[in-house]
Structure 1
Amino acid sequence: MINGEKKLQNPIRWAMVGGGRGSQIGYVHRSAALRDQNFQLVAGAFDIDPERGKDFGMNVHVSPERCYPDYKTMFEEEAKREDGIQAVSIATPNGTHYEICRAALNAGLHVICEKPLCFTTEQAKELETLAKTKDRVVGITYGYAGHQMIEQARQMIEKGDLGEIRIVNMQFAHGFHSEAVEADNPSTKWRVDPKIAGPSYVLGDLGTHPLYISEVMLPNIKIKRLMCSRQSFVKSRSPLEDNAYTLMEYDNGAVGTLWSSCVNAGSMHGQKIRVIGSKASIEWWDEHPNQLKYEVQGKPAQILDRGMDYLYPESLAEDRISGGHSEGLFEAWSNLYTRFAMAMEASDRGEKLNDCWYPGIEAGLEGVRWVENCVRSADNGAIWVEYQ
């Protein structure tokens, strides 16, 4: 159970690039990082407008001299300080991630990066090599994976409660962009611009979340080939898709589907994953993240609740307030930030955490690889492609 006592000898001196006033995700990063006293926010380049960024930084208690006009200046100036930053979170539009991540690694910093890590597998492999060369941790913020019941699902599958895995059904299909909302919303507008968002919209922005959750639950099966069809129902978004279906075949003979969409009119969030085995099935829905549906063939369906003693011990390790109380997205992100911090501290000691999973550089690479393969399939007439 997590009770707020320190896990690290000293908090990691931490900065942000982006995430300032008006950011959709900056506050979640800060709340997650600071909740368990594993990080200390000491610097930032919070905004493309330096004065606005400085004003914001001072309002989150960062010293004015450590509110920088851009990330390059920040990395250079912080390197001169004995108390300089050790890690940085990147919360900027997609098209900047690769450049900033590379610069941070070259500056000897640990990195926590919004997904996608970059636009191409080639870029992702370069960053992976650089991270290993520098012995730095790169974390990817697949924040939903931090919910406790994801760990319970992982343990149930590993211990054989479901039997042989046959089918994986995934979706992240909300309805908030069923019209061209980007015309009046700057934080959405860049997501449908290929120059900034990359080669996809909902595949990369939404689909990679349940994809990573499936990788956490099912670490021992890999995609062999896939087929993807994508559509732009709001025509102004073309060539980027606002809806896509992906079929997958795994190396153990299982099959999977993933529906990625922002035009599922009426749906609030619509992120679900159902894993079907030869004996039983489990289903997790992020609108009810504290529960996991467990259905054994021939028996009444069960609803497993977060924090209860009947769960596997591994799924109770990150419990904060015991069963019956609801936890949400901030706790999930905090769980991942705690894991990032522990991995960073171990790296600084020249060690590695072998018993602690987190979405690292490999997860970032796999997300980019999956999107590339989906786009390749869709743009060639929704054909089956070998997974490369």
Structure 2
Amino acid sequence: MKLVVQVKLLPTVAQEVALAATLRACNEAGSWVSEVAVERDTYRNFDLRKHVYTEIKARWGLGAQAAQHVIKKTCDAYTTLRANLRTGKLGRPGSERHRRASQTPIGFRTSAAQPYDDRMLSWQVDARTVSIWTTSGRMKDVAFTGGPEQLATLALYRKGESDLLYRDGAWFLLATCEVPEAELNTEPVDFLGVDLGVVNVATTSDGEIMAGRRLNRLRERDLKLRAKLQRKGTKSARRRAQRRRRKEARRSRDVNHKIAKRIVAEAERTGRGIGLENLTGIRERVRLRKPQRAMVHSWAFAQLGEFIAYKARRTGVPVVYVDPAYTSRTCAECGHVDKANRVSQARFVCRSCGFVDHADRNGSRNIRARAQMLWRSGAPSTAPAIPERRVAGRGRHTTAGGVP
């Protein structure tokens, strides 16, 4: 299983100048390669290399490996762009957004991530330094730091490319690691049902409620601040709004990591599996009032599910995905299904047997029961694909991941 470890570089002033010049040259070259690709209608790595490789080396002073990575990065960006256009993430065909995305050459920010392979970057994990290629030559003894878990994972499992990234005034290396998966527990004694929500981020069938009220208050505050900055419209306001968005994403990711770690640790400790709802397409299926839309659309439903899934794979805990239909309306005691059973957001009262419980806990118990039935019957669960936890860092189209 591939994970990404992020470490922070601690360069000297001279080293920072060299890194900045290198990143700028690579991304300027990438933007030029993108224009050539559109002009010649050539997006395959090998074919595009014939037209740009020599000039990249001569014009920007890049080495052979760096030039090849710039070309590959550009081709990967167009592969991602085409996929986003096909799936409608950049608007419907014919819309202004779709037309602009499909007709405008991709441009890379001067600080966009640049991939490095083992010929360009070598790690001295024990000394916590790296030797890295720059346009000014090979630069040795660049210090880095990270948490104990990150450093241990890096020392044991690092394999493949690493990305150099400049973000919010700091330098980072994002290293790909091949982490072995634990042997799957094929005989779980039971399942831990997990109900995902907005007011309560996660509720388990054991009755543990991981409340999200504080997170929602912060999210509402951030939403108002973003709207205020967007109305202002100045360059400084846009920069501040961008910093706020990244801060919100980090906060949400941190909360989701902690919740996922807690759930998986409990399942592993008790020898149980985990039952989750298959919430793929939840935003398209659910009709919401206008005040609820921002809250639901700003919460990372898929991210928490992905975190639980990949942490479970690392520890051998089985995960079963169940159909979420009517889990909030079904009585966990007698099985009676009625919309009126859900008295309020937090209260469940069965109209048939009179059973009373917290609504989310009742839902998590139904998820647990469905997970048990699926596992015992041997029926495959409809598990959404778990993306490789990798950072692409390619221009406008990026994905992110990390190790908690």
TM-score range, shorter chain: under 0.3
Structure with greater Cα Rg: 2
Choose between structure 1 and 2: higher helix proportion. Answer: 2
Tell me the TM-score normalised to structure 1 length.
0.23
Tell me the TM-score normalised to structure 2 length.
0.23
